[in-house]
Chain A
Amino acid sequence: MVKRRGHKLITHILLIVIVLITAFPVLFALITSTLSFKDAFVFPPIMIPGGHFISNAVEAWNRVNMGRLFLNSLFISIVVAVVKITLSLMAAFAFTHFKFVGRNLLFPMSMITQMLPLPVRIIPTFELMNLFHWINTYYALTVPFFASTTGILLFRQFFLTIPRDLSDAARVDGVKPMRYFFQVIVPISRTNISALFVIEFIFMWSQYLWPLVVINSANMRVIQIGLKMLLASEQIAPEWNIIMAGTIIAMLFPLLVLIIFRKSFSQGIAMQTDK
């Protein structure tokens, strides 16, 4: 119906402008990360990429031990995402396929959980880490993040759309619950699993406050804190070419995860908002 050509042209122009404005900060970060120190410091700033990205990245990498920080971030993000997804699948299976006392506690529980973001409980949680001797360990970086009512609700909603006949037939045939879980439930949840993986991976990769608080050894730091260190290591003249190279490295992986899982991610989100 509303198919005026001018209308479409305007939409295209608007979108291109918006894409450029949104990308602008990263584009300039990218350009600067390819410049030599001298070129990164001229005014007016240079708008054309140079050829120094590799050497800048290597310098950033060496300066704050980025290789290790990168691996730490990768490790904790994958571990937390995988464990969270596993525990959520298990809990959602319990809530949807069994009758038990406490079954209707899911919503109160998720409501309370949402009321407790880390900052409102950070002091005792930190003291708990001391008590457990978990300061400067992967335990501190991962275990407190393992439970997710977000994930439970996401899977629950999806499990409720699975035709009941399926589990009825399985029960009539005497299939054990856990076998049904592994052979039916988990495989058909693939899309939701990937969607949740993207969400949890990026969530964990971006963590800043908690790693800052529970880690003070150079080897256990995460990459986000590495950015702060790159900035702090500069007192007089910040070497923006090196700092931006570090920043690009820090944003690469979550971006990659988003791109790889893009399709199932969008599908998973769409499924969620569709009541």
Chain B
Amino acid sequence: MESYFKSKWLPYLLLSPTLIILAFFLFYPAFETFLLSFYKVAPYGNRKIFAGLFNFKQMFSDKDYIYSFTLSLIFSVTVVLAGLTVSLLIALLLNQKIKGARVYRSLLIWPYALSPAVSGAIFRFLFNPANGYMGYFTKVLFNIEPKWLTNGNLAFVVVIVAATWKNLGYNIIFYLAGLQNVQKEALESAAIDGAGAVRRFRAITFPLLSPTTFFLLVMNIIYSYFASFGLIDVLTEGGPANATNILIYRLYRDFFVNSRVGYAAAESFILFVLVVGITILQFKTTGKKVYYQ
């Protein structure tokens, strides 16, 4: 049965604004990035010289770049694993039938409204050496005064905690939505058959949540690689001594501060390869699902 409106031009007209925007600001610049990555570009000028794989060779022989690459990987893996585990546990608690469940939910999803810069500012304050609350608490509780933001490793840990905290709201929201689709009947009959809570979770809830988990996995990876820029810029500016200089921050500095256009384009391209890999994996695994920024 044909149940469509008949018009030859209307659907194209409806689609055209979206297509124009995508073409101008997504497809064309992405293609141009790819081209640029093969050129040496003079700073402040329009002179471009084709340089083949020069930028890439230079990049991968640069110890600092490799360092940032590794740092990004560790950052991403930690933020994603910690974030998903914690938010799944919280969502499971919120999903219990208890009084005030709705209130608890409201009190736990609000971090969704936090921006990376806001969480960066708050964490910079909490961990500041002069009168930061964290310094005070660690002193009172453990009698230690770690140099949170001036020690490279500790600063990296603070960045990870801030990023995980900021993501909590988003992850909890999606896990709660996912949990709504886990059938109560299956869980109840499993309980009657004598399956304990842990077993019920492992055999029923977790597998049924796997589409949500996978979706969140992808979104969190993309977040940790790209959206954490504001957090880094406000909290540590990539420091101390490059200790939090993840790929996106390096890219920004190479282009906007050091004016290394071709080199920065090559850096962009590597990030593109990364996100292509993740996306293909995602579409192959979950098929046609919806994505949120």
- Of residues 213 through 232 on chain B, the ones whose CB sits less than 8 Å from some CB of chain A are 222, 226-227, 229-230
Is A182 on the interface with B (CB-CB < 8 A)? Answer: no
Is A147 on the interface with B (CB-CB < 8 A)? Answer: yes
Contact B197 A111 (CB under 8 A): no
- With known contacts A14-B93, A120-B268, A199-B293, A269–B177 Cβ distance under 8 A: yes
- With known contacts A18-B90, A199-B292, A240-B125, A227–B117 Cβ distance under 8 A: yes
Contact A115 B275 (CB under 8 A): yes
Is A117 on the interface with B (CB-CB < 8 A)? Answer: yes
Is B70 on the interface with A (CB-CB < 8 A)? Answer: no
Option from A88, A93, A270 in Cβ contact (under 8 Å) with B177: A270
Option from A11, A177, A178, A206 in Cβ contact (under 8 Å) with B230: A206
How far is it, in angstroms, between the C-alpha of A114 and the C-alpha of B191 when the chains are bound? 41
Q: Chain A interface: which size bin?
A: 35 or more
A221 to chain B, nearest CB (A): 12
Is A48 on the interface with B (CB-CB < 8 A)? Answer: no
- B interface: dominant SS: helix
Q: Chain B interface: which size bin?
A: 35 or more
Contact B118 A15 (CB under 8 A): no
Is B50 on the interface with A (CB-CB < 8 A)? Answer: no
- With known contacts A18-B90, A119-B226, A255-B113, A8–B98 Cβ distance under 8 A: yes
Contact B21 A208 (CB under 8 A): no
Option from A164, A178, A224 in Cβ contact (under 8 Å) with B115: A224
Option from B36, B96, B174, B188 in Cβ contact (under 8 Å) with A273: B174
Q: Which residue on chain A has the smallest CB distance to residue B191? A: A1
Contact A121 B26 (CB under 8 A): yes
Chain A residue contacts of B122, Cβ below 8 A: 25-26, 29, 244, 247
Is A250 on the interface with B (CB-CB < 8 A)? Answer: yes
- Of residues 131 through 188 on chain B, the ones whose CB sits less than 8 Å from some CB of chain A are 131-133, 136, 140, 165, 168, 173-174, 176-178, 180-181, 188
Chain A residue contacts of B93, Cβ below 8 A: 11, 14-15, 18
Chain A residue contacts of B288, Cβ below 8 A: 107, 153
Is B10 on the interface with A (CB-CB < 8 A)? Answer: yes
Chain A residue contacts of B24, Cβ below 8 A: 128
Contact digits for A104-130, partner B, Cβ 8 Å, 1 yes 0 no: 000101111111111111111111100
Is B61 on the interface with A (CB-CB < 8 A)? Answer: no
- 15 A/B residue pairs, CB under 8 Å, sorted by A: A12-B100, A43-B131, A88-B18, A97-B5, A115-B279, A121-B30, A123-B255, A123-B261, A150-B293, A167-B5, A227-B121, A251-B114, A259-B106, A262-B106, A269-B177
Chain A to chain B: the 6 pairs with minimum beta-carbon distance, closest first: A208-B230, A206-B115, A124-B32, A121-B29, A124-B29, A147-B21
Q: Which residues of B contact A (CB under 8 A)?
A: 2-5, 7-8, 10-12, 14-15, 17-19, 21-22, 24-30, 32-33, 36, 90, 93-94, 96, 98, 100, 104, 106-126, 128, 130-133, 136, 140, 165, 168, 173-174, 176-178, 180-181, 188, 191-192, 197, 211-212, 222, 226-227, 229-230, 233-234, 248, 251-252, 255-256, 261, 264-265, 268-269, 271-272, 275-276, 279, 283, 288, 290-293
